[in-house]
Structure 1
Amino acid sequence: MTQLTTTLIHHPYVPPAGFDAPQPGIFKASTVFFPSVAAMRSREWKDKSAYTYGLHGTPTTYALEERLCTLEGGLQCVLAPSGLSAVALVALSLLKSGDEVLIPDNAYGPNKALTEGELKSWGITHRYYDPMDPQDLASKLSERTQLVWVEAAGSVTLEFPDLVEQVRICKRKGVHVVLDNTWGAGLAFQPFNLLPDTESGLGVDLSVHALTKYPSGGGDVLMGSVITRDPALHLQIKLTHMRLGLGVGANDAENVLRALPSMALRYQAHDQATRALAQWCDNQPEFAQVLHPALAASPGHAHWKSLCKNGPGGAAGLFSVVVDTRFTQAQVDAFCDALQLFRLGYSWGGPISLVVPYELETMRSGWPKHLARGTVVRFAVGLEAMEDLRADIEQALQHLR
């Protein structure tokens, strides 16, 4: 090499091996080099034994996938660019025209929108079931049902279903069951081993996790995962993942890897503050109902208590209130606008507390019988001092009083 530009590109220096530090190395690559044509032809990316192309994995993404498997108790993991893309990946992998998917009526809204939009247009039918009535789920299973979604706790209103019975029903019918595990995050309960002391092995087939929330912890990363314990099922997901060209950025993977060691501590802090705030809100006359699985009167509390850790770290950082019907939507909006520490914004799991008012009538098949009438407001508790958050809610209540 005689030209400087060529030498800079093909520089012979290789750093010495053996470097070790608290954070794993971050590898950014589309192209991956092969030492020979034979190696190019023989390398296999599906089992993480080698590298072939950036989309199929790097040391950075492999490390994150393996740590997420440890977190949730799975054996195989694929990463997706967002939680919703992970949801879509499961549907596109396991459903075809003529199939049916069952979804709880309190499911994550974009999952329902995907089902009512693209999946419907591709000839995939769906039905919604009552998440608080396992027999309603059982009655709606048919020969066409290929996939059942479950959520614990449910989106926005945080009902906690009889997850164990739901999984048993699906297992008896031989139908794949997939859990949106973003709320539990692998910390509140074990999705692949729901009853480790009495019925070992009872668990979901797939766990979808929006890593955007607790694993990231900063409100600055979009990422999702699909985790399984069944090698054949994992391969089916992985091949669809490859054909769709899904990938995640190395810096995003770095951020999640960096945040994972503190995840359990943050989750516990979110949980403790949320329980205290939910209990305080339960005594405020403006709220007709407070929804939080750890509250005895919250729908599904007994199921939560039997499945999750009852101490700190078993109930996440979300709670919702139903504002009494004597207050108008404009008043509720003014209450939300008056909050100073709770910022108006979607998502959760980050350091800043968030609040969103919802129009539940537009999101459900009908008003759930276990919910009081009124306007639902969801709080996502961040890492601020609980006393400051409580004072913030109290000053905003003056707009209702």
Structure 2
Amino acid sequence: MPARPTDLIHHRYVPPAGFEALQPGVFKASTVLFPNVAALRARDWKHKDGYTYGLHGTPTTFLLEERIATLEGARHCLLVPSGLAAISAVNCALLAAGDEVLLPDNVYGPSKALAEGELARWGVSHQRYDPMKPADLERRIGPKTRLVWLEAPGSVTMEFPPLAQLAQVCRQRGITSALDNTWGAGLAFNGFDLGTGGRVAPGSGADIVVHALTKYPSGGGDVLMGSIATRDDALHIKLKLSHMRMGWGVGANDTESVLRSLPSLELRYRAQDASARALARWLQARPEVAQVLHPALEGSPGHEHWRALCGDDGLAAGLFSVVFHERHEPAQVDAFCDALRLFRLGYSWGGPVSLAVPYDIPSMRSAQLGTWPYRGVLVRLAIGLEDTADLQADLEQALRALG
């Protein structure tokens, strides 16, 4: 007699316990089974002391959340489908009609678009502040301000702000602060414990740290995921409740990919950092280049803030921007980008392949906070894991396309 579907679904065999391997197991579930009604009614989805439904966590997602919390120096972590989802989730949890959120003027573009779009439609106003001037942030905080976003360094233009001072302004005014720590990756500095002069002050940083795990923790350019880390229990529960109501969840296979990449995170970060600095210094000496924007390089905006926070031998992401001399027209810079062979044209960073993207910076900035100081076209370079000499040769041959 052939097997029946019931026999296959309700099979008696259970694998023996005690299996242990280098990589953790992958648990895929929407439905979670309970041994009895009492257990079903007793389990609390808000804490990691049991399982209720796949959306609220599995052994696989709990494991990644705990490891990211350790990476960021946090007590709690929530996973969401992307870095932008992490930003959106924080905004949704903490803002209501009539509230105001403050954004740095060099904020990640989609975060600004979210404030101008959905948040505005929901009755949440926003202002943009100069992240290099803590006094400007303090001046803009008003009775409606409920949340301040911090970012280090600034998106694309790479200015490194005085993070400790910005966080202190928020703390003194009783305003919740959220830091996008994707660039730092939990390695260059701790977003919760900032300081200056090589002295770290516990609890001096942001209240919330978000991270696009899409970048360095994934490392493969093939996963979209974000995280929200906190230390405060009450704040975590507030975020967790909204996280549940919004239905945020991540797939088990994506979670597995990030877990698999985490052990090599620091090795990759250091390698890409070293390669980026070598290429940035080489480009500084090129006549085609007016300015190299890299927080670890002297002369780059905010370099002294990076050095004060991260130290003279501190880490920096493998990401920097090049401002070409104004004599090179936008079409010529586009030709340079098109001439690249190892560098590919594409957004994001942190993966094995080096990337390049040209940007129109004046259109991204608020005219009220001052004009962009450079007249040339900017290209952001994300350094991958290729040989540094090969990348330099690729840049050199592409520079000939400038004419």
Residues 51-70 of structure 1: per-residue CA shift (max 9 Å, x gap): 00000000000000000000
In the alignment, what sits opposite 2:277? Answer: 275
- Residue 361 to residue 197, structure 1, CA distance change in 2 (3 Å): closer
| Residue 10, structure 1, aligned to residue 28, structure 2 | no
- Residue 341 to residue 3, structure 1, CA distance change in 2 (3 Å): closer
> How many residue pairs are counted as aligned between the two chains?
399
Output the CA distance in 1 between the equivalents of 2:25 and 2:256. 8
In the alignment, what sits opposite 2:374? Answer: 372
Output the CA distance in 2 between the equivalents of 1:3 and 1:18. 30
1:115-134 aligned at under 5 Å gives the runs 115-134=115-134
The 3-state SS of whatever aligns with 1:398 is helix
- Residue 123 to residue 158, structure 1, CA distance change in 2 (3 Å): same
In the alignment, what sits opposite 2:221? Answer: 219
1:205-354 aligned at under 5 Å gives the runs 205-311=207-313, 314-354=315-355
The 3-state SS of whatever aligns with 2:179 is strand
Seq. identity, %? 62
Output the CA distance in 2 between the equivalents of 1:230 and 1:368. 37
CA contact (8 A) 1:289 1:371 kept: no
Output the CA distance in 1 between the equivalents of 2:311 and 2:256. 29
| Residue 356, structure 1, aligned to residue 357, structure 2 | yes
- Residue 316 to residue 198, structure 1, CA distance change in 2 (3 Å): closer
Shift of 1:3: 6.1
- Structure 1 stretches of at least 4 aligned residues deviating more than 6 Å after TM superposition: none
Shift of 1:368: 5.3
| Residue 183, structure 1, aligned to residue 180, structure 2 | no
In the alignment, what sits opposite 1:112? Answer: 112
- Residue 37 to residue 384, structure 1, CA distance change in 2 (3 Å): same
Shift of 1:309: 4.5
CA contact (8 A) 2:217 2:258 kept: yes
In the alignment, what sits opposite 1:394? Answer: 396
Output the CA distance in 2 between the equivalents of 1:221 and 1:200. 32
In the alignment, what sits opposite 1:141? Answer: 141
Structure 1 residue identity aligned to 2:32: V
1:4-43 aligned at under 5 Å gives the runs 4-43=4-43
The 3-state SS of whatever aligns with 1:399 is helix
The 3-state SS of whatever aligns with 2:194 is coil
CA contact (8 A) 1:188 1:309 kept: no
- Residue 17 to residue 368, structure 1, CA distance change in 2 (3 Å): farther
Shift of 1:4: 2.5
| Residue 63, structure 1, aligned to residue 63, structure 2 | yes
Shift of 1:31: 0.2
Structure 1 residue identity aligned to 2:190: Q
| Residue 193, structure 1, aligned to residue 197, structure 2 | no
Shift of 1:127: 0.3
Output the CA distance in 1 between the equivalents of 2:274 and 2:200. 29
Output the CA distance in 2 between the equivalents of 1:337 and 1:3. 60
Structure 2 residue identity aligned to 1:321: V
Shift of 1:198: 5.3
Q: What is the alpha-carbon root mean square deviation over aligned residues?
A: 1.3
Unaligned runs of 5+ in 2: none
Output the CA distance in 1 between the equivalents of 2:312 and 2:251. 36
Unaligned runs of 5+ in 1: none
Output the CA distance in 1 between the equivalents of 2:288 and 2:39. 68
